[in-house]
Amino acid sequence: MNARHLRFFELVLVLSIVFLPSLIKSLSFIFTGYISDYAHLGYLDYVLYLN
């Protein structure tokens, strides 16, 4: 893997980590139509919520 591909991979990785909670909450609203307060949940709770 050359340096350009590595930088792109790292950028995608960081952006996915940053936006994952918002993406999960948005997808949950789209598919269920239910808005709930996830402010008290941590990142692991978002992942466990999907199961």
Q: Which amino acid is at 3?
A: A
Query: Is 0.75 topped by the overall pTM?
Result: no
**Integer angstrom CA distances of residue 32 from 2, 3, 21, 25, 29:** 42, 42, 16, 10, 5
The tens digit of pLDDT for each residue in 1-51 reads 799 999 999 999 998 888 887 888 788 888 888 776 656 666 666 666 665
Residue 48 confidence (pLDDT):
67
